[in-house]
Chain A
Amino acid sequence: MDFRFTDEQTMLGDSLARTLERGGDAAAVFELGTGAALLPEEAGGFGGTGPDVLMVFRTLGCAAAVTPLLDSVVLGAGILAAAGEGALAEAASTGGARIAVALDEPGQRYDGTVATRADRGHLTGEKAVVHGAEDASHLIVLATDGLHLVEAGAEGLAIRSYALIDGARAAEVTLKETPARRLGDAALLDRPMAAAILALCADALGVMETAVALTTDYLKTRKQFGRAIGSFQAIQHRMADLLTEVEQARSAVWNLAGHLDAPDRDRHVAATKSLVGRVALQVAEETIQLHGGIGMTEEYELAPLVRRLLAADARFGDSDHHLERFIVLGAA
Chain B
Amino acid sequence: MLTERKHTLILIILLVSLPVFALLHLNSGQIDLGIGTMIDSMFSFNNENMNEVIAREIRIPRMLTALLVGGSLSIGGLLMQTLFRNPLAGPYVLGINSGSSLFVAFTIMTGVTFFQSDLGMIINALIGAFLFGLLILFFAGMVRNQISLLLVGIMLGSFTSAFISILETMSHAEELKVYMLWSLGSLQKVEFHQLGIISLIVFLGLIGALLISKQLNLLVLGEREAKSLGLNIKRIRYLIIGITALLTGVITAFCGPIAFVGLAVPNMVRILFKTQHHIVLITASFLLGAIFVMSVDAILQLLESWMVIPINAITSIIGAPIVVIIVFRRLR
Q: Do A and B bind each other?
A: no
A interface with B by C-beta (< 8 Å): none
Which residues in B have some Cβ–Cβ distance to A below 8 Å? none
